[in-house]
Structure 1
Amino acid sequence: MSETVKVADAKTHLSQLLAKVEAGDEFVIARGERPIARLVPIDDKERRRAAIADMFAFRDGPGLKPVSADEIAAWKHEGHRY
């Protein structure tokens, strides 16, 4: 569960909040009673997995079409080294 912190307190204690976030805590930053932001640890492993999943989805979806051997041969004749 997240703890709510007022903007002024977050500004004053940012270093301490970041240390707690690094330890796994989460905070909601509020202006008055209205929540405006969330301070959470970054899960790099999950971001990498999501990026890889996005690349596979693009590759396997309508975004790319297979390249034929004829197209590759034509590129070689155009001076491409691939």
Structure 2
Amino acid sequence: MDSVSLADAKAHLSELVDRAIAGEEICITRRGTPVARLTPIRPAKRRIDIAELRAVTEGSTPQTESAGEFMRRMRDDARY
């Protein structure tokens, strides 16, 4: 995380915002003490549509073997 003084942050705010948009976090200091942090905003997670999830899962075929059996089979088949 890069540190910038408050005076420099005022003078170069647009540049700092562009860096934050690019994913960088910037610590703003006053007299060497951290007072603020400029971070990118993460997009909100999309809510799961239950009807859409049911439609997808109802259309798939159920597994005939357990996950453990499947992993053992994949491991043992690849070994020899």
Pick the TM interval, shorter chain.
0.5 to 0.7
SS across alignment from 2:34: strand
**What TM-score, normalized by structure 2, do the two folds share?**
0.54
Corresponding position of 1:4: 3
Q: Secondary structure at the match of 1:16?
A: helix
Structure 1 outlier segments of 4+, above 4 Å = none
CA distance in 1, matches of 2:38, 2:16: 9
For structure 2, the 5+ residue unaligned runs are 48-80
CA distance in 1, matches of 2:19, 2:33: 22
Could you tell me how far 1:33 is from its partner in structure 2? Answer: 1.0
Give the TM-score normalised by structure 1.
Answer: 0.53
Unmatched segments (≥5 aa) in structure 1: 50-82
Q: Which residue of 1 aligns with 2:30?
A: 31
Q: How many residues in Structure 1 have an aligned counterpart in Structure 2?
A: 47
Percent of matched pairs sharing the same residue: 47
Distance 1:38 1:7 in 2: 11
Larger radius of gyration: 2
SS of the residue 1:44 aligns to: coil
